[in-house]
Amino acid sequence: MGEVAPVIVPQEENGDVTLTDNGDAGQSGVLLETSPAEPDLGGVTSITEIATETGSGALLRALDKTLAQSRDLELATGAAARLGRITVEMVECRYPEGDANSDAFAHMRITDTDGRALFDGWMVASSPALIAFDHPRYDVWVLRCSTS
């Protein structure tokens, strides 16, 4: 059996915590159940890994929603570009082996002018809303990996 989630116990007004041992039943007499920490895969019996290659960078598209302006950015791996009040850094871009024009996924870091992290994760070119950069003014998404 997997790990069990911790139990949150309310404190009394004076800060003391009162624990009552009711066996398998909760304080209201309702049976408490635990679920395994691993998710149910819904009948999935195998996972197929796709061989990938690493690109030299990525082509991104950025949209300033306030100004209604979009711009394409070609960023090399490790490079960063400033877009108004945010900075976009390309960490890594990968694509299916032997098919650079196929589905790309890119690891990007996006920070504000104070250096606070706004996004740090992977974006998928074919599904930009799957893992999206959620910002009131800017949208940024990956189009493809660069290979040269």
Q: What mean pLDDT do residues 56-76 have?
A: 94
Per domain, the residue ranges of the chain are 52-146
The 10 Å CB-count burial string (b at 16+, else e) for 35-48 is eeeeeeeeeeeeee
How far CA 16 is from CA of 7, 11, 19, 28, in Å, comes to: 16, 6, 10, 20
Alpha-carbon distance of 129 to 64, in angstroms, equals 17
Q: Using 50, 70 and 90 to split pLDDT, how confident is the model at 44?
A: confident
Q: Position 41: which residue type?
A: L
Helix (H, G, I), strand (E, B) or coil at 120: strand
pLDDT higher than 90, residue 16:
no
Contact call for residues 141 and 129 (beta carbons, < 8 A)? no
The predicted structure's pLDDT at residue 5: 58
Closest CA to 111 of 135, 76, 145, 75: 135
Cross-strand partners of 71? 62
Q: What mean pLDDT do residues 44-57 have?
A: 84
Q: List the structure tokens of 45.
A: 């019996």
Q: Using 50, 70 and 90 to split pLDDT, how confident is the model at 34?
A: low
pLDDT higher than 90, residue 36:
no
The predicted structure's pLDDT at residue 48: 78
How far CA 19 is from CA of 22, 24, 28, 33, 132, in Å, comes to: 9, 14, 13, 18, 43
